[in-house]
Amino acid sequence: MKGQRLCVAVSGLHLGENAQPGPGVIRSLREANAEPLRIVGLAYDALDSSLYAPGLLDEAFLLPYPSVSPEAYLERLLEIDEQCGIDAIIPCLDSELPLLRQLSPELEARKICCVLPRGRSLFLRAKDQLTQLSERLGVAVPETRSVSDLAALARACSELGFPLVVKGPFCDAEVVQGPDQASTAFERLSKQWGFPVLAQRFVAGDEYNVAALGDGEGAMPLAVAMRKTIVTRLGKAWGAMTVHDPSVMDVARRVVSGLSWRGGCEVELLKSRDSRIYLIEVNPRLPAWIYLTTAAGVNLPFALLRMALGQALPRYGDYQAGVFYVRHATEAIGYVRDIENIVSYGRRSAAVATVAHGVG
Partner 1 sequence: MSLSNSWNSLRSLAISENGFVFDPRTGHAYTANQTGLAVLRALKEGRPVAEITRELSQDFPGVPSIEADVCGFLRLLSQLGIVEVPEQEAP
Residues in the site for partner 1, rule: CB under 8 A? 206, 226-227, 229, 241-246, 275, 321-322, 324
Nearer to partner 1, 193 or 324 (CB): 324
Closest CA to 255 of 201, 213, 292: 213
Nearer to partner 1, 38 or 227 (CB): 227
CB of 322 to partner 1, least distance (A): 6
Kindly give the pairing relationship between strand 222-231 and strand 205-215: antiparallel
d(CA 211, CA 109): 30
CB of 293 to partner 1, least distance (A): 15
Closest CA to 86 of 13, 169, 7: 7
Asked whether the beta carbons of 121 and 259 are under 8 A apart, the reply is yes
Nearer to partner 1, 266 or 338 (CB): 266
CB of 275 to partner 1, least distance (A): 7
Kindly give the pairing relationship between strand 164-167 and strand 173-176: antiparallel
CB of 271 to partner 1, least distance (A): 8
CB of 1 to partner 1, least distance (A): 40
Nearer to partner 1, 9 or 241 (CB): 241
d(CA 141, CA 280): 6
Nearer to partner 1, 58 or 245 (CB): 245
| Secondary structure (H, E, C), 38-52 | EEEEEECCCCCHHHH
CB of 343 to partner 1, least distance (A): 44
CB of 287 to partner 1, least distance (A): 17
Nearer to partner 1, 294 or 341 (CB): 294
Asked whether the beta carbons of 28 and 290 are under 8 A apart, the reply is yes
d(CA 152, CA 166): 13
CB of 245 to partner 1, least distance (A): 4
Nearer to partner 1, 113 or 298 (CB): 298
Nearer to partner 1, 324 or 335 (CB): 324
Q: How many CB atoms lie within 10 A of CB 199?
A: 25
Nearer to partner 1, 136 or 244 (CB): 244
CB of 186 to partner 1, least distance (A): 34
Burial 19-36 (b: 16+ CB within 10 A, else e): bbbbbbbbbbbbebeeee
Asked whether the beta carbons of 326 and 228 are under 8 A apart, the reply is no
Asked whether the beta carbons of 235 and 17 are under 8 A apart, the reply is no
Residue 214's contacts (CB-CB under 8 Å, 6 or more residues apart) are: 117, 220, 256, 257, 259, 260, 261, 262, 263, 265
Summarize the chain as % helix, strand, coil (round to 5): 35, 25, 40
DSSP E strands, 273-338: 277-283, 324-326
Nearer to partner 1, 236 or 348 (CB): 236
CB of 276 to partner 1, least distance (A): 13
